[in-house]
Amino acid sequence: MKAVFFDADGTVCDIEKGVPQSARDAIRRLVDQGHQAWLCTGRSRAFVPGYLEEIPFTGMISACGATIEKDGQRLFNREMTPEVARRSVEILRKYGLVPVMEGADYMYYDKEEYTNEVNWYRDLITKALGKRWRPIRGYEDQMRINKISAKMRPGCQADRACAELSAYYDVIRHENNDFVGTTIELVPKGFNKAVGIAAVCRLFQIPWEDTVV
């Protein structure tokens, strides 16, 4: 038995086109042959849409390792405190960045702030989220998040924002990328996709030599 770990964007799916039938069929054959197929994505669990949930994955690692589930059951979910989430929003806005707060159950952003001018695919995200979208306004003290996608705008002071938030988050910078664009991912310190994969291997006693990443 092999455990195969699949990234989402650019591997299994495209934000505009969804999942090709060939990928669905290949993963189903893999599982039918007795192997494990795991989705391993930087997206938070709330941003795993129906077209990915329909694939018969054994389990999912989402939010860069902060959330783990198997057979539909959530096994682990590392959340920032509501106080840290609120403070993060304040700091990002102070330095001219747009906060997109990502949780296992909801994503939070204000549509008048996070617009299609900031990211061309904003409406696609909102459509994919459906009822899993919430505004920041009105939920400032109730946000349950795993990570943040901070959107850089011209003139923003991203380095200063990251420095103030460095006690809580590790920083992944994306620039000149068609999908994530000029985005800074802020993930809980010590977490990443590799950490999530290692945790799954420990939990389910999967030998490293039996993994395909």
| Same domain (yes/no): 177, 92 | yes
Regarding whether 50 and 145 lie in a shared domain, the answer is no
- Residue 95 shares a structural domain with residue 35: no
Check whether residue 184 and residue 198 sit in a common domain.
Answer: no
Same domain, 178 and 89: yes
Domain count, the chain: 2
pTM: 0.92
The CATH number of whichever domain residue 149 belongs to comes to 3.30.1240.10
Q: Is residue 169 located within the same domain as residue 94?
A: yes
Q: Are residues 91 and 176 in the same domain?
A: yes
Tokens representing residue 58 in the block? 């054994």
On the 0-12 / 13-18 / 19+ scale of CB atoms within 10 A, 155 is exposed
HSE-CB for 161 with a 13 A CA cutoff: 29
- Domain that residue 207 falls in: 3-78+192-212
Q: How many residues does the chain have?
A: 213
Q: Tens of pLDDT along the chain (213 residues)? A: 999 999 988 788 878 888 889 989 999 999 999 999 999 999 999 999 998 999 999 999 999 999 999 999 999 999 999 999 999 999 999 999 999 999 999 999 999 999 999 999 999 999 999 999 999 999 999 999 999 999 999 999 999 999 999 999 999 987 665 545 589 999 999 999 999 999 999 999 999 999 998
